[in-house]
Amino acid sequence: MNVSSLCKGIAVGMTAGVVTYALTNATKSEKRRFKSNTVKAMRSVGSMMDILGGMFM
């Protein structure tokens, strides 16, 4: 068994649990803010990946 894979799996599971807990106990405005922040973060990551991809081409 690969220890690195095991640690990654545990980290992903814990993250999913924390996000689920946060969403189930959040108020309506907190959920809206969470969704807005998530969209902003995904756009930032996408932009960063485009820039990195352009550097290697």
Sign of CA pseudo-dihedral 54, 37, 4, 13: negative
At CA 46, angle to CA 6 and CA 34, rounded to 5?
A: 75
Residue 1's pLDDT band, with cuts at 50, 70 and 90, is low
Please give the pLDDT value at position 50.
85
How confident is the model over 42-51, as pLDDT tens digits? 888 888 888 8
How confident is the model over 3-54, as pLDDT tens digits? 777 888 888 889 888 888 888 888 888 888 888 888 898 888 888 888 878 8
Distances (CA, A) of 22 to 19, 41, 49: 5, 17, 28
Distance separating alpha carbons of residues 30 and 39, to the nearest angstrom: 14
Domain boundaries, the chain: 3-56
